[in-house]
Every structure is written in structure tokens, then in C-alpha cells.
């Protein structure tokens, strides 16, 4: 009896719903509506369709993209001396800048008809990752023109005249772009931009035209010191009604030549001593014509929507690529160093304490690569999943931070001495940059992931909000009534489904595969149902207060995030052909994700304000307790051992780490020492056996030991030479750089003979 139900049940609930509905600002509403719902919608809905996940095409490079990787990218990496760039010149050499422009590194995303490369998102991500394994400064320089900026905004929103004017120059590097959004008073809260453009009449090219007079102050603008074209975000006002009746048009984006009158490129910042260009930009009564608005006058006031839509894509490429690069580099080099470096007569990688950290490096690197491919691949499918890319930005940069920390801990003194031999230091210094930009991580975790996810990904909430906002109350009530019935059924299904899965340990759930990974699909389905249940009760009980309960909502966001990343791991494993050698990393990753989901939900239950509801939810989700635990020690040791031996598994896990061929190249030297020592392992075993038998002395320098072994014919002369060559590579690889200073006694002693 829908009429009776609508009057007696739905109408009172509808009134309450309107009251508890969290208020949304215009910028929040536009951010909420931007982007697409993708796999995150399945995970939030409580019934993920795993066959749908498996049917998503595997992201792969085209023949042209692979050729670019094999040739131009490798050649660029070989040109980069990161120590010289960062510590000495504070800039890339002119020939590198020229090479970047000539070879199209600044136009990876610009269509071929404008002279660009026209590459896919997965190619963009892969290229930036490979460069970042060599030089973070160079990677950021390449990343920015191919991320949020004039090029991307022009392609999506620019007029044909604007595209013809700017894209060819951007494609060949004749034009260097930057985009000015952040200012001293407005960072993550872009709605608070104080920079203003006022519609007025002014002179342009000798004629009086209607245009915009700009005054602004921007900082943290990457590439600003060398930019020739400035993208600018500002609030546009029309007090005299020259563009219409609306006086406050809102955030607007414009494209301005950097040498335009009234535009001042300010001084350079020093972002943690890295060498990429970053600085300030100012406008002082700069007058521009209306057709410099990106998209033309019709796009006045639509800038925030444009920025949010482009950011939702950019977050899925640039910063995840940098973090993935840190994983590939750290996994390969730390594994090699842990085999080369000996303490107490054995490789340090054999100590369990070191293996625990190495397991994190290897396991997290597998997660990063899986998430990088799945997230960038979604963009090539025409998706713009704002929640997914926010997950990727936050969690992948945090994983990169942990990987860098573990790699530095294992390298110890070898990692903290900066110099040409150090391949970790600059990446370690630059990690906070990724944490900070494109939405600070605290904001991304606490407000964006669940804040957008709860509304956009939920099958009914956004539609219910739209019904509540309907200016026709009768139509709104009718729409809300139909949605409410479905929502109640959805909640009941999640409640009993969660309880049943909790009591059975999800063992009766179905999985799309058999074998060792089947149990993970079952557990993820169970936790997806738990997320849907807890989210519904949170919104029902807390209403608008949930927006302010950031610690509560962030924990639910963590559950969604780990569900997504775990899904990416399982898909990556399937896409790579279910490689047996990858299973240690898969097991490590899945144990970690499920453990983190368990921690997040346990924290949610412990801190939920309504203790009765918290108790009911806890019993429903974990009726026999939270049984999720981190990976067993045996799995951690298997991951560590994967990094300690040359294999196709190690190559696959670290394929984006550039290894230089030139003598003195830090990554090349470490890899060559590692391979030489691994090739000599049978000889070292022979020497140890001889020592245990008393045929060779113990605890003597290695070169002396090799000499005696040769004299006693324990090793052949050829083997003796192999051991000596190996030891020279080993010693050079573990060594660190030294420098003279003005007060150095070594420098004085060196000069003394000449003075005499």
C-alpha cells in the first residue's frame, strides 16, 4: 500500500533526512559530482562482481609506446647525473632540456595532430616511473606538463582557436607550461582563493575590449621559473554586469603568456633541495581579453569543475608513478646491497630483522605496481574515477614513504652519505613532496576518500540526496519513497549477510578462481559487505555530524581503500598469468590488506559514538573476533629471498628500475657487484668448506684468503681471478663518496708536497 506507506512512514523519514543531510558548499558539490564511479562502486555496494574485475582489459603499452621506453626513455635516463643536477647545478643541463622538448617528453598526452605523442595514461605513468627511478627532479619536470595544467585543460575544454595557438608549441617544448592554483591563503581549500579577476573594459592590442583585470599571488608553482605560458585559477567578478546579471561568476581558469604586461614570474623556491623548477607568480593589474578564458567566455565560472575533473585523473598517474618508481628502485637495489654487504660472515639479507624490512619493500612494491596499472588503466578505458584516484594518491605515496624508510634503514651509512654513488638519498628527501601536493594526504584520507565514496559509490544515497533537494516536494517524496524501500532491503541484506559470513568465516562464499588465492576473494566479499553495513549505520546514526567525525569516516575510507588495492593485487596476479614465483608477494600483500581492514574496523567499533550500535555492528561483522593477521614469517622470508637472487621474478617486480651501463653508474655498479657475487657463490661455499676442514685459515682478509686458496689449488687460477674481480666490485659497491672541505686535513696533506 504505497500511499499509506508514503504518508505514515516515508514522509516523517523524509523530513528527518532533510534535517540530517550534511550541508554541502558549492565547491564540495562540484567535487562530489565530478568523476566517475568504477570498481569502487562494486566494492561499496557489498557484492563485488569478481568476473567483472577480471574482464577489465590488462593495461599494456602499444608498440610505439614500448619503442619510446626502450629508446628515448633509456637514453634520457643515461643522460641524467642526478647528483650533479641536484647538488651542483641545481638544474638539469641544457642538453637534457633540449632533449626533453625535441623528443616529446612534454607532450606525452597531446594528440599527434598537434605534434604530440598522443600516448595512453598507462604509457604516461610507465615513462614517469622509469625516469623517477633515475632522477626525481627530472621526473617531476616531465610529469607536470603531462598532468594538471594548460595542456590537459586545453584538450578537454579549450576552444579550437586556443588549441591551435598553444598545443603545437607545447608539443615540441617551445612553450613551457605551469599552472597557478595554490596561494599563500588557499591550498587544499580552493574555494578560499583570494585571487580576483574583475570584468571591465580595457585596452588590448590597441583596441578597447571587455576583459578581465587580474590581481593575484601564487606559490609552489612547479615550472614557474622557466614557464612561457601560465595557466591561472582565480575568482571572477562582474560588478557592472558586462557578461550578464550574475555578479559573482566563480572560479575561472585562463591561459596567459608569461611575458604579458602585469604578470611577474617571481623568485624560485627550494623544494627540499631538489632541482625541479618551482616558484612564485604574481599579477598586478594585468588586463586580459575574455577569450583567454580556457574554453572561452562560456566557461567563465566553470573552473573549479574543470580542475576537479582533471585532478581526479592526474592523481591516478603522476604521484602514484613516483611512488612506484621508489618501490622498483628500492627493491632491486636493497636486495642487491643486502646480498653484497656482509656482516658476521654472511649477507645482511639473511638476518631475519633485515628480512622483515625487505619483505615490506618487496610486498609493497608488488602492491604499488598492481595499483599503478589498474588505476592508470581505468583512465584509458575512458573512466575518471575520482574516489579510486584519491585512494591511489594517498595510499601509494604512503607506501612509497615506508619503502624509502626501510631501504634507508637497511643501507644504513651507505644510504645517508650523499654523493654520486647514492641512489636513495634524493628520493628519500623528496617523499614529502608527493605526500603534500595534489591534495595533502591528511585531507585526502580524512575528507575525500570516504566523503566522496559514501555518497557517490553508495547505490542509493546520492539519489536520495537529489530527491531531498527536488524543489517539487511531492515529486521528491515520491522518488525518495521508492529509494527508501530499496535502501531498507539493501541494509537488511547487508546485516544478515555480514552475520552469516562472519559466523562461517566466509568459507561458503564463492570465488572466481581456484587455488591459493581463492580464499582472498571470499574474504574481500565479506569485508565489502561489512563496509556497506557500517557505512549505512554511520550515515543513519550520525547524519551530518559524520562529515566532522573525520577519524570515524577515515577508518571506513581505509576499508574501501584496502579493498580496492587488494582487488588490484589479485587482478595483477591474474593479468600476469598467475606466475607461481609471484605468490610470496601476493600472499604478503593480501595478508597485509586484510589485516589493515581488520584494524580499521576494530578502531571504528571502538570509537563509534553510539555504543549500542557499535556493539551490534561489531558482533555482526566479527562474531568470533577479528582473525585477520599480517603475513606469517615464512611468507616474509620468501619475499626477502626473492630480492636476494637473480630471477625472472625479481626482474618482473623491478622492471622499471633503470640500471646504468656506464662505469661508475651507481645502480649499474651495485647490480654488477651483486651478479658477480652471486656467480661466485659456489666458490665461496668451497672456501668455507675448506676453512671448516682446516685447509684454510679463518678470519683473514678476503684477498689474502683467495691467494692462499689458489696456492693450495683449492681454487684454480681462473677462479682466483674471478674472486678478485668480484671482491673489487663488491668493495666499490659498498663504498661511499668522500669530499674535501676547506678545513679538511686530507686536503692540507694533499697540498703539502706541492708547497714543499
State the cell numbers at 509. Answer: 562464499
Under 8 Å between Cβ of 530 and 621: yes
d(CA 677, CA 729): 9
Cβ count within 10 A of residue 378: 25
CA 300 from chain centre, in angstroms, equals: 31
Give the CA-trace dihedral at 574, 579, 583, 589, to 10 degrees: -40
Q: Name the nearest CA neighbour of 558 among 390, 369, 385.
A: 390
Q: Any residues with CB less than 8 A from the CB of 347 and at least 6 apart, and which?
A: 338, 339, 340, 341, 644
Distance CA 291, CA 273 (A): 39
According to DSSP, the β-strands at 229-237 and 196-204 are: parallel
Distance, CA of 744 to CA of 738 (rounded, Å): 11
Q: Is 453 helix (H, G, I), strand (E, B) or coil?
A: helix
Residue 628 carries which DSSP code? -
Q: What is the DSSP string of 94-153?
A: HHHHHHHHHTTGGGSSS-GGGTS----HHHHHHHHHHHHTT-HHHHHHHHGGGSTTHHHH
What are the backbone angles phi and psi of residue 235, rounded to the nearest 5°? -90, 130
Contact 581, 383 (CB under 8 A): no
Q: Which stretch of DSSP H or E encloses residue 521?
A: helix 518-542
**First CA to last CA across the chain, in angstroms?**
110
The sign one gets for the Cα dihedral 62, 68, 74, 76 is: negative
Please check whether residue 364 is in contact with residue 441, taking contact to mean a CB–CB distance below 8 angstroms: no
What does the CA dihedral 381, 385, 388, 393 come to, rounded to 10 degrees?
Answer: 100
> What letter does residue 508 receive in the DSSP assignment?
T
Backbone phi, psi, residue 249, to 5°: -85, -25
Instruction: For residues 233 and 182, give the distance between their C-alpha atoms in angstroms, rounded to a whole number.
Output: 9
DSSP one-letter string for 152-195: HHHHHH--HHHHHHHHHHHHHTSS-EEEE--BTTBSS-GGG---
User: Exposed, middle or buried: residue 300 (CB in 10 Å: 0-12, 13-18, 19+)?
Assistant: buried
Q: Which of 438, 464, 596, 719 is catalytic?
A: 438
SS3 286: strand
CB distance 116 to 123 below 8 Å: no
Burial label for 228, CB within 10 Å (0-12, 13-18, 19+), is middle
Q: Is 596 a catalytic residue?
A: no
Distances (CA, A) of 511 to 44, 54, 371, 515, 571: 18, 12, 21, 10, 13
Please count the other Cβ atoms lying within 10 Å of the Cβ belonging to residue 652: 15
State the Cα–Cα distance between residues 371 and 630, nearest whole angstrom: 20
DSSP-derived letter for residue 9 is I
Residue positions annotated with a catalytic role? 438
Amino acid at each position: 500500500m504505497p500511499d499509506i506507506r508514503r504518508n505514515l512512514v516515508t514522509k516523517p523519514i523524509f523530513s528527518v533526512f532533510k534535517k540530517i543531510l550534511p550541508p554541502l558548499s558549492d565547491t564540495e558539490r562540484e567535487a562530489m559530482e565530478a568523476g566517475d564511479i568504477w570498481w569502487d562502486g562494486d566494492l561499496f555496494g557489498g557484492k563485488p562482481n569478481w568476473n567483472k574485475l577480471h574482464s577489465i582489459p590488462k593495461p599494456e603499452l602499444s608498440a610505439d609506446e614500448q619503442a619510446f621506453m626502450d629508446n628515448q626513455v633509456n637514453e634520457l635516463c643515461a643522460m641524467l647525473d642526478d647528483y650533479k643536477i641536484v647538488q651542483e647545478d641545481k638544474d638539469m643541463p641544457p642538453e637534457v632540456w633540449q632533449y626533453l622538448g625535441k623528443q616529446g617528453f612534454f607532450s606525452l598526452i597531446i594528440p599527434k595532430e598537434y605534434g604530440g605523442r598522443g600516448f595512453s595514461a598507462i604509457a604516461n605513468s610507465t615513462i614517469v616511473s622509469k625516469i623517477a627511478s633515475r632522477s626525481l627532479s627530472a621526473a617531476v619536470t616531465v610529469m607536470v606538463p603531462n598532468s594538471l595544467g594548460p595542456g590537459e585543460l586545453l584538450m578537454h575544454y579549450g576552444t579550437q582557436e586556443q588549441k591551435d595557438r598553444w598545443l603545437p608549441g607545447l608539443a615540441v617544448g617551445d612553450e613551457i607550461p605551469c599552472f597557478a592554483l595554490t596561494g599563500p591563503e588557499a591550498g587544499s581549500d580552493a574555494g578560499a582563493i583570494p585571487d580576483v579577476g574583475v570584468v571591465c573594459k580595457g585596452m588590448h592590442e590597441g583596441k578597447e575590449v571587455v576583459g578581465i583585470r587580474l590581481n593575484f599571488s601564487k606559490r609552489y608553482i612547479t615550472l614557474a621559473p622557466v614557464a612561457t605560458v601560465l595557466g591561472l585559477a582565480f575568482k571572477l567578478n562582474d560588478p557592472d554586469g558586462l557578461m550578464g546579471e550574475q555578479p559573482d561568476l566563480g572560479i575561472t581558469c585562463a591561459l596567459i603568456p608569461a611575458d604579458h604586461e602585469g604578470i611577474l614570474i617571481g623568485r624560485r623556491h627550494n623544494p627540499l633541495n631538489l632541482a625541479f623548477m618551482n616558484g612564485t607568480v604574481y599579477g598586478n593589474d594585468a588586463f586580459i581579453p575574455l577569450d583567454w578564458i580556457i574554453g572561452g567566455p562560456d566557461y567563465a565560472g566553470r573552473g573549479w569543475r574543470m580542475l576537479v575533473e582533471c585532478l581526479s585523473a592526474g592523481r591516478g598517474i603522476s604521484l602514484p608513478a613516483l611512488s612506484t618508481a621508489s618501490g622498483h628502485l628500492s627493491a632491486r637495489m636493497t636486495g642487491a646491497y643486502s646480498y653484497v654487504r656482509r656482516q658476521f660472515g654472511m649477507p645482511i639479507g639473511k638476518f631475519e630483522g633485515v628480512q622483515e624490512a625487505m619483505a615490506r619493500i618487496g610486498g609493497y612494491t608488488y602492491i604499488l605496481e598492481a595499483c599503478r596499472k589498474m588505476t592508470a588503466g581505468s583512465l584509458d578505458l575512458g573512466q575518471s574515477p575520482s574516489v579510486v584516484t584519491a585512494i591511489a594518491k594517498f595510499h601509494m605515496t604512503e607506501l612509497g614513504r615506508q619503502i624509502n624508510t626501510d631501504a634507508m634503514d637497511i643501507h644504513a651509512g651507505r644510504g645517508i652519505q650523499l654523493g654520486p654513488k647514492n641512489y636513495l638519498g634524493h628520493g628519500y628527501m623528496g617523499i614529502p613532496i608527493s605526500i603534500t601536493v595534489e591534495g595533502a594526504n591528511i585531507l585526502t584520507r580524512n575528507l575525500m576518500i570516504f566523503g566522496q565514496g559514501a555518497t557517490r559509490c553508495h547505490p542509493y544515497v546520492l539519489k536520495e540526496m537529489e530527491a531531498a533537494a527536488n524543489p517539487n516536494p511531492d515529486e521528491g517524496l515520491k522518488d525518495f519513497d521508492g529509494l527508501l524501500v530499496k535502501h531498507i532491503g539493501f541494509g537488511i541484506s547487508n546485516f544478515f549477510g555480514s552475520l552469516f559470513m562472519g559466523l562461517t568465516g566466509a568459507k561458503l562464499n564463492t570465488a572466481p578462481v581456484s587455488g591459493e588465492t581463492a580464499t582472498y576473494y571470499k574474504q574481500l566479499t565479506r569485508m565489502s559487505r561489512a563496509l556497506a553495513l557500517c557505512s549505512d549505520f554511520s550515515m543513519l546514526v550520525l547524519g551530518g555530524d559524520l562529515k566532522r567525525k573525520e577519524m570515524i569516516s577515515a577508518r571506513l575510507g581505509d576499508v574501501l581503500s584496502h579493498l580496492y588495492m587488494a582487488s588490484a593485487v589479485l587482478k595483477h596476479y591474474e593479468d600476469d598469468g598467475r606466475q607461481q614465483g609471484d605468490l610470496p608477494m601476493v600472499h604478503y600483500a593480501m595478508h597485509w590488506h586484510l589485516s589493515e581492514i581488520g584494524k580499521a574496523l576494530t578502531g571504528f567499533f571502538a570509537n563509534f559514538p553510539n555504543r549500542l550500535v557499535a556493539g551490534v555492528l561489531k558482533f555482526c561483522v566479527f562474531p568470533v573476533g577479528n582473525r585477520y593477521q599480517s603475513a606469517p614469517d615464512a611468507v616474509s622470508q620468501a619475499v626477502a629471498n626473492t630480492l636476494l637472487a637473480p630471477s625472472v621474478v625479481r626482474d618482473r617486480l623491478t622492471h622499471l628500475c633503470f640500471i646504468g651501463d656506464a662505469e661508475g653508474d651507481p645502480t649499474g655498479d651495485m647490480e654488477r657487484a651483486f651478479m658477480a657475487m652471486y656467480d661466485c657463490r659456489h666458490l665461496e661455499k668451497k672456501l668455507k668448506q675448506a676453512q671448516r676442514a682446516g685447509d684454510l685459515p679463518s678470519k683473514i682478509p678476503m684477498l689474502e684468503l683467495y691467494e692462499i686458496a689458489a696456492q693450495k689449488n683449492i681454487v684454480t687460477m681462473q677462479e682466483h681471478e674471478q674472486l678478485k674481480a668480484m671482491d673489487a666490485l663488491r668493495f666499490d659497491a659498498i663504498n661511499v663518496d668522500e669530499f674535501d672541505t676547506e678545513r679538511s686535513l686530507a686536503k692540507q696533506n694533499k697540498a703539502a708536497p706541492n708547497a714543499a
